A and B are shown apart, each in its own frame.
Chain A
Amino acid sequence: MRHVLSALVQNQPGVLAHISGMLASRGFNIESLAVGETENPNLSRITFVVQGSDSELEQVRKQLDKVVTVVRVQDISSENFVERDLMLVKVQAPAPQRVEITMLVEMFRGRVVDIGVDTLMIEISGQESKVEAFIDLMRPYGILELARTGRIALVRGKGLVEGKN
């Protein structure tokens, strides 16, 4: 089963290395991992997407919680949450195809962020399935480069993955 874990960690050098090393050494496979500072500059949020059984996930969560610099970890899969993935994709777009591609971008509520002589750079955000669908649509035109942030997620409403202090 697919799980989304949200962790607040101390914003210090080496924390990400510690966490990714721990996950690797215990054989946990991470599908996606995104890190960024939070509104509190002392804390960062790491969002993990992990495949595994409930008991495997219980171990991942506990092992993460055991890392001294991890303030709080929550498996938010069972909560009502919003998740997003941001992608930049550069596609082959000679003049005749530009309009067609731009229409697709609009249908996906994306944005064209750069136009070259025969290329377009497009920004798309949304759930994984939407981003994947867009990639499939772009393939025939020729994808030159692609970058994704990995998934980030927050629980809807007042549910918080708060710091303990």
Chain B
Amino acid sequence: MSELKGTPQSGADILVQCLINHGVDTIFAYPGGASMPLHQSLTRVTDKLRTILPRHEQGGGFAAEGYARTTGRVGVCMSTSGPGATNFVTSLADAKMDSCPILAITGQVSTPVIGTDAFQETPIVEVCRAVTKHHYLIQRTEDITQVMKEAFHIMTSGRPGPVIIDVPKDVQVRKIVADYDPPMDLAGYQPHRRATREELEKVLELLKQSKKPIIYAGGGIIASGAAEHLRAFAEKASIPVAMTLLGLGGFPADHFLCLDMLGMHGSVYSNYAINEADLLLALGVRFDDRVTGKVSEFAKHGKIVHIDIDPSELNKNKKADVPIHGDVSLALQDLARMADARLAGGAQLTAGHQEWIRQVEKWRADEPLRYDERENVIIPQQAISRLYHLLKERNRLDDTIVTTGVGQHQMWAAQFFKFQKPRRFVTSGGLGSMGFGLPSAMGAQIAHPLKTVIDIDGDGSFLMNIQELATCFTEKIPVKVLLLNNQHLGMVVQWEDRFFAGNRGHTYLGAGFNEAPYPDFITIARGFRVGAKSISDPKDLDAALIEMIESKGPYVLDVQVPYQEHVLPMIPSGMTVKDIIKV
């Protein structure tokens, strides 16, 4: 395949060439009738573009997210029409909620039969409108290059997000001479904005009056590459930093100003600090209900500055005193420069807040994130904590990426695995998609072949995309799974215990309490020819974790844990820091 001017190429060849031109090196693609021409094209570019065959389209979509979330580049997945395409819906919704740039390419029935309820026809663009940043149904082969150019621009600029491109089969087959540098037609799309000096002066003025400032940092810090600028600014003004789930890694966990995660399962000290603060600097966040609890009570003692690249987030859930539309990375750089100028002039940045720092440190010392170990059983938090410490002792944290499913294990991973750098933690935050852990780990591993990628998972979530073990084996993707197997849907069980008098509403996954743990994940892993081991004795924990991280290929460590543990602290849904549950 070449780009020679004047040589007619098929639409499929043109689309694949566009992917290569946009720097794509991996595609997660599951074939079918309506996408076969595209797959035929992919077979001719294997030296430039690796095609991974997931075992379910949803796995392909989540893998694309794992790739995108750990690189900041576009992750690409492809499927056929109809059921193949609808299997992308969850992945796209997930990517939309967490502002993740993935491209889903779907085959579609040929244009003459669109709208006739043809075999494997779904109006996937109609279905996906609300769960994508943008969408295209390509009508003519001539439009492919322009659509691809626009799609990559849209996915990666402003607030990142997913795009779906639906490509009818006849559009893939028809041959034309392509123009690889077409103009874009995006008159209404102007995603870039840098906050003005006047806007940022207001922030420094509020800071000057503040005695209890705090930063609430979210996924926007990571998406905009602002982690080092956040650190520089926070250190300059000595402001403590609390992070959202998606923000973890945006500020180093071992930093003396770090208050770890805030919100429903955030640290006691971060939630106390947010509640008492007189100035909240909300950076790249969206005041999600899992962070705020009862939104009218959230940070109500403080002025609020909100900086975000998406203006529709400003004043959406919480009214800000100073709403600023702009790139948070540029804003932090500009703020740091302006702060330097003030410091050089002999001014103070705040109204003096040594007292506040002492208070925050006391809260952190008094009520750290903790768990009680028990004799003869491995506590799930303990397994995560030991994994973290073993990697730290081996100086491998920088080269470790953690992904998760959704539920208790996810929250414990956020609490007990300490992230020092951005793009090391991959988790489904906004949508909370079970089954996310293994395929997203696959995508992360392919993007980072030399790193250790560990899916910290629960037995419910793991089972939802367990078929991807086949992808890991056949494509030699050495992902590790730390499976915290409690035979229950632990988070729902926890809510049942707290709010439904412990009545179990279909939250038990096992085969009966007198039976061995079910399913037998070791036999399953063996069937996929993936290494596996099962443990339940705390004495075996360290050795098994080391064996897992040292293993060469994909590996499943099935850790049998009790289901009675609760994720604490917890601010129940819609409540406030006053209602925080600590035991």
Interface residues, chain A, with chain B CB atoms under 8 Å away: 8-10, 13-14, 17-18, 21-22, 25, 55, 58-59, 62-63, 65-72, 163-165
Distance, CA A120 to CA B187, complexed state (A): 46
Given A68-B154, A68-B186, CB of A62 within 8 Å of CB of B311: yes
Which B residues have a C-beta under 8 Å from some C-beta of A?
Answer: 125-126, 129-130, 133-135, 137, 154, 185-190, 310-312, 314-316, 319
Inter-subunit contact A55/B315 (CB<8 Å): yes
Contacting pair B125 A25 (CB below 8 A)? no
By beta carbon, the residue of chain B nearest A63 is: B312
Q: In the complex the two chains form, what is the Cα distance from A163 to B126 in whole Å?
A: 26
Considering only CB atoms, which chain A residue lies closest to B325 in the complex? A62
Chain A residues contacting B134 (CB-CB under 8 Å) are 68
Report A-chain residues with C-beta under 8 Å of the C-beta of B133. 68
Closest chain A CB from B280 CB (angstroms): 19
Min CB–CB distance A63 → chain B (angstroms): 5
A-B contact pairs, 11 of them (CB 8 A): A10-B185, A13-B137, A17-B126, A18-B129, A22-B130, A62-B311, A62-B314, A65-B312, A68-B189, A70-B188, A71-B188
Give the chain B neighbours of A62 by CB distance below 8 A: 311-312, 314, 316
In the complex, the answer to whether A165 meets B312 with C-beta atoms within 8 Å is no
Closest chain B residue to A14, Cβ basis: B125
Residues of B within 8 A of A72 (CB): 188
In the bound complex, CA of A7 to CA of B154 (Å): 21
When C-beta atoms are compared, the residue in chain A nearest to B316 turns out to be: A59
Interface centre among B137, B188, B190, by most chain A C-beta atoms within 10 angstroms, is B188
Please give me the residue from chain B that is nearest to A8 by CB atom. Answer: B188
Residue pair A66, B312 in contact (C-beta under 8 Å): yes
5 A-B pairs with least C-beta separation: A71-B188, A62-B312, A68-B134, A165-B187, A71-B187
- Bound form: Cα–Cα A65–B311 in Å: 9
CA distance A9 to B187 in the complex (A): 9
Task: Provide the residues of chain A in CB contact with B135, threshold 8 Å.
Answer: 14
Whole-angstrom distance from the CB of B101 to the nearest CB of chain A?
14
Q: Are B130 and A164 in contact (CB under 8 A)?
A: no
Instruction: Give chain B residues whose Cβ lies under 8 Å from the Cβ of A59.
Output: 312, 315-316
Q: Inside 8 A of B185's CB, which chain A residues have their CB?
A: 10
The residue in chain A whose Cβ has the minimal distance to the Cβ of B314 is: A62
Task: Determine the chain B residues whose CB is within 8 A of the CB of A17 once the complex forms.
Answer: 126, 129
The answer to whether A21 and B315 have CB atoms under 8 Å apart is no
Most A Cβ at <10 Å: residue of B186, B187, B312, B316: B187
**A69 and B312 contacting across the interface, CB-CB below 8 Å:** no
Q: Given A55-B315, A59-B312, A59-B316, A68–B188 Cβ distance below 8 Å? A: yes
Distance between Cα atoms of A163 and B185 in the complex (Å) = 13
Instruction: List residues of chain B with CB within 8 A of the CB of A21.
Output: 129-130
Given the complex of chains A and B, what is the CA–CA distance between A18 and B131 in angstroms? 11
- Report A62 CB to chain B, min CB distance, Å: 4
Contacts of B154 in A (CB 8 A): 68
Closest to A9 in B: B188
B315 to chain A: which residues have CB within 8 Å?
55, 58-59
The CB with the most chain A CB atoms within 10 A, among B135, B186, B189, B316, is that of B189
The minimal Cβ–Cβ distance linking A113 to chain B, given in whole angstroms, is 35
A10 CB contact (under 8 Å) in B129, B187, B312, B316: B187
Q: Which of A65, A66, A68, A71 has the most CB of B within 10 A?
A: A68
